[in-house]
Structure 1
Amino acid sequence: MAVAGLSFFKLSFLLSLLSGGSNVLDPIFRPVSESGLVGKFPPSCSRIECPKYEVVHAGNGYEIRRYDATVWISTEPIQDISLVDATRTAFFQLFAYIQGKNEYHQKIEMTAPVISQVSPSDGPFCKSSFTVSFYVPEKNQPDPAPAKNLHIQKWTPRYVAVRQFSGFVSDSTVGKEAAALDSSLKGTAWANAIEKSKEDGGVGSDSAYTVAQYNSPFEFSGRVNEIWLPFQIDD
């Protein structure tokens, strides 16, 4: 009974995280979103494993990071008009995966962030495409467990332009934050590198941007979310 209760709590916790806290926190108690944060360490990464990175440049409202090779387990693309709804739907699969519904029947530790790669639609009422991914713990990365309807993404080392924002992720904020990141990068060498990477079909060409979510819905302060624009630079 205690184990079942714990599993239900973990599922509620994770789905709430991915739904922007809906049905968990009344909007009147939600903190005002603060955009353009730079260099704030996500609090959850002091408690659970997160991918390691090096900050190579801090700009006005953004930073450039370099990530080593990482492994992610990902859903197939989900067509939806809402990032929040698509992410909630996708996470049922990811939660089952870490609870042992994989070919190795292996339970896997929770990590952060959970990311949603976004490929927007061409029109306001058309469905976008969302691929939701779970960062595989380092100890599992040499041989990540396969699973039905999920696929493994093995990321090569890459650079990522990052904009941080606080509060709870919602469909109304992510587009604005992504546009703000794009605007802050304009005229920089980083913007040119991002564009070239997309044109060459390299890192970052498979989506317009990525949303990274780190926190529990029960954390009222210190919330950190991120917009990512991955790219590569020829060394």
Structure 2
Amino acid sequence: MKISLFLSVLTVSILGIYSEVNIPAPCKRIECPIYDVIENGKDYQIRRYNSSVWISNPPIRQFSIVTANAIGVTRLFRYIQGNNDNKQKIEMAGPVLSEVIPSDGSFFKYSYIVSFYVPKKNQANPPPAKGLQVQRWKNVYAAVRQFSGFVNDKNVAEQAAALKDSINGTKWLSAIEKSHKASNFSVAQYNSPIELFNRVNEIWLLFEL
């Protein structure tokens, strides 16, 4: 009886620790999109995100994701500080999401759509702003891989390739390939630029079922 009770408590404790690991740490202090974990695979996680609202830049054509993020985040930070049509301030939420889109033959190799997640209390009526767009997502699935440090072109490419390798041979591959080009992916960043340690980033492959 005592052994059975001990094993039950131990199992609950392990599952609790495991679920904590899967939650990006910054989301314990800022609002983030809500999701359910569908599968914990080897070096990847499948999530189902509830419908959500994002405020986005139009595609930014640059040589580097670092430069594109700097441009996009500057515009979006001004937006949440009240530089919008309603002069309304909005709480900072997470993550900053950068969609990486291969070039259509232009001078730049990629373009980037940099977005902020809009907190729930503002999702019904996010204030409009010139040069920015509101994106309303339905429920969507994501294959996710976490990594640490500061985002740069090298580690983003390596982590995206590693996630795609992990998905190969799984039941999720065909759904991902049907949803978008295999070369498309998104980079989620959860930390402020001034946070030097314990940084959390993710590669997302978004898809529908």
Alignment TM-score, normalising by the size of structure 1: 0.76
Q: Which segments of 5 or more consecutive residues in structure 1 lack a partner in the other structure? A: 1-37, 199-204
Q: What is residue 228 of structure 1 aligned with on the other side?
A: 204
1:156 shift after superposition = 0.6
Residue 110 of structure 1 pairs with residue 86 of structure 2 = no
In 1, Cα distance between the equivalents of 2:147 and 2:113?
21
Residue 52 of structure 1 pairs with residue 34 of structure 2 = yes
Residue 188 of structure 1 pairs with residue 170 of structure 2 = yes
Aligned partner of 2:57: which letter? T
1:230 shift after superposition = 0.5
Which of structures 1 and 2 has the bigger CA Rg? 2
Residue 98 of structure 1 pairs with residue 80 of structure 2 = yes
1:63 shift after superposition = 0.2
* Superposed CA offset, 1:147-168 (max 9, x none): 0000000001010000000111
Q: How has the CA–CA distance of structure 1 residues 207 and 69 changed in structure 2, closer, same or farther, with 3 Å as cutoff? A: farther
Check conservation: 1:39, 1:63, Cα contact below 8 A.
Answer: no
1:220 shift after superposition = 4.2
Structure with higher RCO (Cα < 8 A, 6+ apart): 1
Q: What is residue 134 of structure 2 aligned with on the other side?
A: 152
Q: Which segments of 5 or more consecutive residues in structure 2 lack a partner in the other structure? A: 1-19
Identity %: 56
The Cα RMSD (Å) is 2.0
Q: How many residues align?
A: 189
Q: What is residue 14 of structure 2 aligned with on the other side?
A: none
In 1, Cα distance between the equivalents of 2:208 and 2:139?
8
Superposition map of 1:33-182 within 5 A: 39-121=21-103, 126-182=108-164
In 2, Cα distance between the equivalents of 1:196 and 1:212?
22
In 2, Cα distance between the equivalents of 1:163 and 1:206?
16
Check conservation: 2:61, 2:108, Cα contact below 8 A.
Answer: no
Q: How has the CA–CA distance of structure 1 residues 177 and 77 changed in structure 2, closer, same or farther, with 3 Å as cutoff? A: same
Check conservation: 1:43, 1:215, Cα contact below 8 A.
Answer: no
Check conservation: 1:49, 1:111, Cα contact below 8 A.
Answer: yes
Aligned partner of 1:164: which letter? Q
Alignment TM-score, normalising by the size of structure 2: 0.85
Q: What is residue 3 of structure 2 aligned with on the other side?
A: none
